[in-house]
Amino acid sequence: LANKGNLGDNGSSRVYPPYAISPLQGIAKAAGNKKVIFNDGSDIRHAKWLAERADYVVFVAGYDCNDEGEYVSNDQAGNYMDPIGGDRCQSLGLHPDEIRLIKEVGPVNDRSVVILIGGSMIMMEEWKDYVNGILMAYYPGMEGGTAIGQILFGDVNPSGKLPFVIPKKETDLPEVNWDTEKQRYDYYHGYTKLEKESIESAYPYGFGLSYTKFEITGVYFSRRGDAIEAECSVKNTGERAGTQVIQFYVGFSQSSVDRPVKVLKGFQRVPLKPGEKKKVTIVTPIAQLEWFNDRKDAWELEHMEYDLYLGTSSSEKDLIQGKLSL
């Protein structure tokens, strides 16, 4: 995938840009006059030989339209005229040859990173400890290679956050029957399912790293009319500019009905220069805390003490907790 401008699905979401920069092109451009060697990974012995002599190793792995797209089964393909995409019905992880390559070549160089290409969550537990860094690039678009190169070489400080949870095991996710015409999805999925079942994730919802560090202080929760305000101060304690995403969660541990442990109710991106400090306020309408009583066919607010959290991911170790009675 390194030498391919990978734009994702070839079905209804297909786009036709005038060009697409591959990860290899973007890395070569960002490297300037430094030599960049491409290897397709088919010969692991040669790949290890190159990795031992390189300053850095970059693996580009993941999916394209043949792995995930607008899948059409054989019995439906007769009148279908568009490209037929794949479906990840065997595994939510990387291809076996990619996993083998990462596990065997990654430890050879202590400056190795994996760039993941794909439109959805990719399992990492089997190989993540064999490399020093992971960058989730998704399908990054026509200038995706440029962005990847700039982030790897430090010209751009990453600030993205995971829009999904990455579990340690596929069995932590809702069970799916791939050979059925109907599929039932229960109320809990994603991070709310794992938290409800007290299952630790590999990487929590909202997680993301930066080339700088941040400090959160002065967390305060209050009611202002028909809304809840979550306040804090965020300081960039590192030596370079960066952006942190402050996330506000509300929990329902005192609820008398079945509700999630907590849910995201707001967030705010905060760009900061080195040493800069800013005050952040996230406002959530109290109406968003209501639950739907199907017996009364109406939304209701529980009058109780709510758990309030402010931080940088859904993991409690990244959150500062407070309480507020409504």
- The rounded distance, in Å, linking the Cα atoms of 161 and 83 is 32
Share of the chain above pLDDT 90, in %: 82
Higher-confidence residue: 159 or 78? 159
- What pLDDT, in 10s, does the model give residues 20-52? 999 999 999 999 999 999 999 999 999 999 999
Given this model, what pLDDT does residue 198 score? 96
Which CATH number does the domain housing residue 69 bear? 3.40.50.1700
Q: In this structure, what CATH number is given to the domain that contains residue 288?
A: 2.60.40.10
Q: Which of 134, 152, 170 is the last residue in one of the domains? A: 152
| CA nearest to 214, candidates 188, 186, 233 | 233
Residue 310 falls within a domain, yes or no? yes
Q: Which structure tokens are listed for 133?
A: 């860094």
Q: Do residues 226 and 305 both lie within one domain?
A: yes
pLDDT digits (tens, 9 = 90+) for 116-160: 999 999 999 999 999 999 999 999 999 999 999 999 999 999 999
Determine, yes or no, domain membership for 1. Answer: no
Q: What are the strands, taking DSSP E only, across 261-304?
A: 262-272, 277-285, 291-293, 298-300
- Do the beta carbons of residue 262 and residue 288 sit within 8 Å? no
Q: Among 136, 152, 168, give the residue marking a domain's end.
A: 152
Mean pLDDT of the chain: 93
Whether residue 29 sits in one domain with residue 142: yes
Is residue 182 within 8 A of residue 290, CB to CB? The reply is no
Q: Report pLDDT for 184.
A: 83
Evaluate whether residue 160 is within a structural domain: no
Query: Is 5's pLDDT higher than 90?
Result: no
Q: Is 161 within the bounds of a domain?
A: no
Give Cα 193 to chain centroid, integer Å.
17
Full 3-state SS string of 79-106: CCCCCCECCCCCCCCCCHHHHHHHHHHH
How many domains would you assign to the chain? 2
Query: What does the alpha-carbon distance between residue 108 and residue 110 come to, in Å, rounded to a whole number?
Result: 7
pLDDT at residue 87, as a whole number: 74
The CB-based long-range contact list for 252-260 (8 Å cut-off, 24+ gap) reads 252/302, 252/306, 252/307, 253/307, 254/302, 254/304, 254/305, 254/306, 254/307, 255/291, 255/302, 255/304, 256/302, 256/304, 257/291, 257/302, 258/187, 259/291, 260/188, 260/192, 260/195, 260/196
Q: Among residues 152, 168, 197, which one ends one of the domains? A: 152
| Across 275-279, average pLDDT | 98
What is the rounded CA–CA span in Å between residue 248 and residue 240?
Answer: 25
* Under 8 Å between Cβ of 59 and 113: yes
Instruction: State which residues form the domain around 139.
Output: 23-152
C-alpha 190/C-alpha 305 separation (Å) is: 25
| Any domain includes 265 | yes
Where would I find the H helices in the chain?
Answer: 23-31, 44-53, 96-105, 144-152, 190-196
Q: Residue 269: inside a domain, yes or no?
A: yes
Read off the pTM. Answer: 0.91
Residues 143 and 257 in one domain: no
* Per-residue model confidence as pLDDT tens digits over 204-243: 999 999 999 999 999 999 999 999 999 999 999 999 999 9
Which strand ranges, in their side-by-side order, compose the sheet holding 277-285? 214-224, 227-236, 277-285
Count Cβ neighbours within 10 Å for each residue of 118-132 and write b for 16 or more, e otherwise. Answer: bbebbbbeebbebbe
Please, what sign has the CA dihedral across residues 283, 286, 287, 290? positive
Residue 206, in any domain of the structure: no
Residue 134 inside a domain? The answer is: yes
Which of 88 and 5 is assigned the larger pLDDT? 5
Pairwise CA distance, residues 90 & 167, whole Å: 17
